[in-house]
């Protein structure tokens, strides 16, 4: 079942999009990543430099890439729907 089949005529826009995210999953992923960051910090004897800082950068870039891919996919779906409608 798609979002539009769930009694909504239009997909959410703006702030409403943020409310439709699965925040439990996002918070769980961030908690797991934070635990990993703390472990890397601990292994490096209290220094972010060797490993933890690089892993934090990778994690944040991963979220950015995911957001861009989702935006591109949604744009492609929107154009496909427009083409099907005529």
pTM (2 decimals)? 0.60
Q: What is the pLDDT of residue 5?
A: 58
Q: What is the dihedral of CA 32, 36, 37, 39, to 10 degrees?
A: 140
CA distance 81 to 10: 13
Q: What pLDDT digit, counting tens, does each position of 72-82 carry?
A: 887 888 888 88
Domain that holds residue 69: 3-85
Tally the domains of the chain: 1
pLDDT tens, 15-60? Answer: 777 777 788 998 999 999 999 999 999 999 999 888 898 899 888 8
- Which pLDDT value is given to residue 2? 59
In terms of Cβ atoms closer than 10 Å to its own Cβ (0-12, 13-18, 19+), residue 11 is middle
pLDDT at residue 41, as a whole number: 94
What does the pLDDT read at residue 29? 93
């Amino acid at each position: 079942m798609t979002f539009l089949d769930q009694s909504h005529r239009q997909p959410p826009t703006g702030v409403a999009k943020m409310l439709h995210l699965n925040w439990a999953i996002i918070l769980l992923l961030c908690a797991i990543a934070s635990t990993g960051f703390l472990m890397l910090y601990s292994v490096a004897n209290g220094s972010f430099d060797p490993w933890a800082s690089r892993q934090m950068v990778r994690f944040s870039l991963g979220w950015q890439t995911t957001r861009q891919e989702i935006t591109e996919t949604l744009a492609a779906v929107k154009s496909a729907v427009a083409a099907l409608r005529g």
